[in-house]
Each structure stands twice: as C-alpha cells, then as structure tokens.
Amino acid sequence: MTGSENARLSMNSDPSAGTQSNDADDELPSGFLYAGVTCGIKPSGSPDLSLIVSDTPVVAAGVYTQNQIVAAPVVLSRSKTPSNSIRAVVTNSGNANACTGEQGMKDASEMCHLVAEHLGCRAENVLVMSTGIIGKQLPMDCVRQGIRDAHQQIEHTTAAFLRSAEAIRTTDKNLKTEIATIHVGPRQFRIAAMAKGAGMIAPNMATMLSSILTDAPLTAEMAQESLRQAARCSFNRVSVDGHTSTNDTLLLLSSGQGTPLNTAELSIFQQELTKVAIKLAKQLVADGEGALHVMAIRIDGAVDEAAAEIIARTVAASPLVKTAVTGADPNWGRIVSAAGYADAQICPEKTSLKICGTTIYHEGTPVKFDEAALSAKMKLSSEVSIVLCVGGGPGTVEYWASDLTTEYVEFNSEYTT
C-alpha cells in the first residue's frame, strides 16, 4: 500500500471567488459544511466569524497551548476532546476572549449554545476558538448575529471553505490552507485544513488556530494520538518570536464512517496528516509579521532527537541569528555559539555548518568561502537553509523560524495603540 498527496489549495486562493467546480468541491472531505462571515468584531470590517458544521456527530481531537494563562475557549474545547460526538467548530477573530474572567467563560459557552440551537444538538457537541486582542470582552451582539448569518450560509463548497479560512485571520497576510487526497490500497480519503497565525508563534504551539478535517475513519483515540504526533513534528517546531500564546488550538475532526483504519492504513494516514501539518506550520513562519526569510534549520549529529530539538529551538530563538539572516549575513559565529549555549550536549570539534548549501564552518574550524556570493544568495532566498552538525550522534530534527525585521518591531509596538 502507498500513500500519496495529490491536491493542494494555494494559501493565496481568493476567498471572494465564486463557487468552484464540482471536481474542486469533491476534493473536500465528505460530511462537512463551511461558512465565513463579517459580523463587526473587527473594526476593519474584515470577515471575523467562521463556522464548520458536520452532517452527523464526528470524532474530534485537540492539542492546545502550553501557556498557564489560558483563554476561555481553550478551557471549553479542551474539556470536550477527544470526543466522538462533535457537530461544529465556531471561531471568532479579532478578539481572543482571553483574560476576560467569568464573563469570558459565559461568552464562550454562549457561542457553543447558540450554534447548538441552530443544529439541534447540545452545547457539549460544539467546539469554540477565538483569536485576536487579549483582555477585551467579546461584543456578543455582533457574535450572535454572526452565528445566525453563518448558519444560513453553510455549504459544502471550496468557496465556502475558503471563506471560513479567511474569517479566522488576524494579522495574517495570507490564507493558510491545504487539501490532500490519500490513497490507501483501493480506498481514498481526503484532508482539508486551515490555519491562522503570524505572530506570537513559538514551540508548544503559539497564536495559531487550525482545524484539520478528514473523512478517513478514525476512533477518538486514533485521532488524538495522530494529532499529537503531527503537532510534535510541525506546529511544535516553528517559531516567529518565541512567544507562546493563550489561545493555541489545533483540532482534528473525522467524519469517516465504517471500519476504522487498521494499523498499516493508520500509518499511511499519519504520514500524510503530518505532511499537511508541516506545510501549514511553514506557512505560519513564512507569514511571520514582517518576515523576509524562513530559516529552515536542520540539526544533525546530536546525542538524540530531544537534544537536537533543544539546539534547533535555541538557534531559532536567537535575535542575533534572526537579524543576521535578515541582513543576509552568513555569520557562522552567531549560529555556532547559540548551539554552544543550548541546554544540550554538543561536540565542538565535530561541529560543522552549512548555509544555503555552502560549508562555512567544518569540524570546529571556519573555512574560506565567498562571503559576497553567499550573502547575495541568502538575500534572494525566501527560505535560508541552516544545516548544523553538532557531533556524531543519531539525533536529527528539522525546525522552521522567521527572521527578525524592523517591520516586526514597528508592527508589534503599535499593535493595540
């Protein structure tokens, strides 16, 4: 048996486009309806309420922020997953409903109750997500109208899927979506995923929301473990600014009917789910606030995978490394020294570094290279590869981070004022 991904929806797709062809709509997982509307939460007038609805109860799993300060919608959704009886996911953008006390919990609960009333199910069958500015109460009159409007517009079309993805954006410049088809022997399943996030992005999730939908038949336990593994290799290995948010939520919903995947089939599904998650996670980094480059970091030769991840995370978080990449400066000293202060063992005399395929440091010693040529290559590359070998061990990991620009500083210094 083989697994393959053969359909992708561009993150730059136009959400205002008309309904797509039946062929395009058939690429979406069966059993889900979508809507995205403007209800007035955002002063800009941009879409700000998204609704995903299942025809029947579906399996749902979730992975959430590791921050101790947790938004009300995270508390609610985390208490409901894993589950085999979810009917909908409602998401608002423009307001995080975080640090909003008892009223915030009431508002998040009301969002679930309102959707449940329209669907004829219980509030326990509805998941909720929020993203935006922290510490402000939700304008519930807007939210109530938005849920009514969204329910009237739900449909199983690519255009509706894109509108739903559009409505979860905050500071994102681009839509972040992926669609894949998986072949498992004679059977075919689909995955459709959307995400948002451009700032407050750090390992162990960040200001990111994502819903991944599939019609592959999974149990709740399968879905939870598959999502956990996918998150470990994707959303937990990206960083924009090292700031873990209060609202991170990653959901996996399965509408699949019939016999759940067997062990071999589940392995193929896991591979494809992880591929989709990695693509979405890399889109978060590429869309990082003010970012010019993605730093594609690979650590080899660590004592184990955990050590490799610590080193990668340390390199990715270094402001000196980030600004060197912004300035197209092949500054090997910043990268190597960051690995040296990481809380993981390295072998200095076996440490080597390549940037954009050019070796600039080998087994503890700098080597001659054409600095001007490499700088020009870095400047023109949207993705700057950094391959750092820190010894002879088996530990290896891939990690993605954005660079650090003056635009990021300016944007975030003015975000709420």
Annotated catalytic residues are: 207
Residue 396 main-chain phi, psi, to 5 deg: -145, 150
Q: How far is it, in rounded angstroms, from Cα 254 to Cα 73?
A: 21
DSSP state of 261: P
Sign of dihedral through CA atoms 386, 322, 206, 288? negative
Would you say 392 and 347 are in contact if contact means Cβ atoms under 8 Å apart? yes
Would you say 224 and 61 are in contact if contact means Cβ atoms under 8 Å apart? yes
- Residue 162: enclosing H or E segment and its boundaries? helix 158-166
The residue among 193, 200, 177, 192 whose CA lies nearest residue 247 is 200
The residue among 104, 170, 99 whose CA lies nearest residue 132 is 170
β-pairing, 32-37 with 49-64? antiparallel
Residue recorded with tokens 């839509």: 175
Lookup: tokens for 183: 């072949």
Which positions ≥6 away from 71 have C-beta within 8 Å?
Answer: 96, 97, 98, 99, 100, 104, 130, 134, 246, 247
Which positions ≥6 away from 338 have C-beta within 8 Å?
Answer: 314, 315, 318, 320, 321
Which positions ≥6 away from 66 have C-beta within 8 Å?
Answer: 204, 205, 244, 248
